[in-house]
């Protein structure tokens, strides 16, 4: 691939990332959630689908980039809950960047989606233990339950939506 073609391809992927990030903002931050947790986190109407779809289309590198950018934007939107810079980093840019890990398993999308959601869970779980609970067993269990309450349904909704997109052969449209 020539340097000009490579540059054109990167611009195309960057433009696509921008569109998928914008779709995520609409689905996750503009539309009302199905339910919202008191200290952050919510179950949305397929709010994570665009980021995970993008990661499945473009792979880990671009998926992590798009998730990180979305996480930065999400952290600045009203309703974000940041009590410490490290907690903010874990709960927003790193948690959403983790969704990009879905791109590592393109051949089995549900596994990729699970990996991305687990990555997000681990970031929010760590932030929950350190900044919202304690290092005690109660803090660990509390953080796991709190984050699982919204991420398990979010996984189910996302997996179903992407399954439908795959059945309609839309995952690789315009590639």
Domain ranges for the chain: 3-167
For 125-139, the pLDDT digits (tens) are 999 988 877 666 678
Q: Which pLDDT value is given to residue 5?
A: 87
Q: What is the DSSP letter of 85?
A: H
Q: Which pLDDT value is given to residue 175?
A: 53
Output phi, psi for 77, to 5 deg: -80, 155
Using CA atoms, how far apart are residues 66 and 59, in angstroms rounded to an integer? Answer: 11
- Residue 161 vs residues 99, 164, 165: alpha-carbon distances, Å: 16, 5, 6
Helix axes 109-127, 137-167, angle to 10 degrees: 150
Output phi, psi for 3, to 5 deg: -60, -40
**H helix or E strand, kind and range, residue 5:** helix 3-24
pLDDT band, very low/low/confident/very high, at 81 (cuts 50, 70, 90): confident
Tokens, residue 23: 């779709």
Q: Whats the size of the chain, residue-wise?
A: 175
The domain made up of 3-167 has a fold known as: Arp2/3 complex 21 kDa subunit ARPC3 (1.10.1760)
The position carrying tokens 């709010």 is 47
pTM value is: 0.92
Q: Which pLDDT value is given to residue 132?
A: 79
> Which residues make Cβ contacts (< 8 Å) with residue 74, sequence separation at least 6?
25, 28, 29, 80, 92, 96
Percent of the chain surpassing pLDDT 90:
73
In the predicted structure, residue 24 carries a pLDDT above the cut 60: yes
In the predicted structure, residue 171 carries a pLDDT above the cut 70: no
For 30-51, the pLDDT digits (tens) are 999 999 998 888 999 999 999 9
In the predicted structure, residue 72 carries a pLDDT above the cut 60: yes
Q: Which pLDDT value is given to residue 131?
A: 84
Q: Which pLDDT value is given to residue 164?
A: 93
For 82-100, the pLDDT digits (tens) are 989 999 999 999 999 999 9
């Amino acid at each position: 691939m020539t340097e000009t073609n490579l540059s054109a391809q990167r611009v195309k992927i960057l433009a696509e990332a921008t569109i998928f990030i914008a779709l995520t903002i609409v689905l996750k931050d503009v539309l009302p959630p199905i339910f919202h947790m008191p200290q952050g986190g919510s179950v949305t109407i397929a709010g994570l689908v665009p980021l995970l779809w993008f990661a499945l289309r473009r792979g880990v590198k671009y998926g992590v980039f798009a998730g990180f950018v979305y996480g930065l934007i999400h952290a600045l939107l009203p309703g974000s809950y940041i009590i410490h810079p490290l907690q903010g980093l874990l709960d927003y840019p790193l948690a959403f960047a983790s969704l990009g890990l879905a791109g590592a398993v393109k051949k089995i999308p549900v596994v990729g989606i699970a990996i991305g959601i687990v990555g997000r869970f681990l970031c929010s779980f760590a932030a929950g233990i350190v900044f919202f609970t304690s290092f005690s067993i109660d803090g660990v269990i509390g953080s796991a339950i709190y984050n699982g309450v919204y991420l398990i349904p979010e996984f189910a909704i996302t997996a179903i939506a992407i399954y439908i997109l795959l059945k309609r052969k839309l995952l690789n449209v315009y590639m």
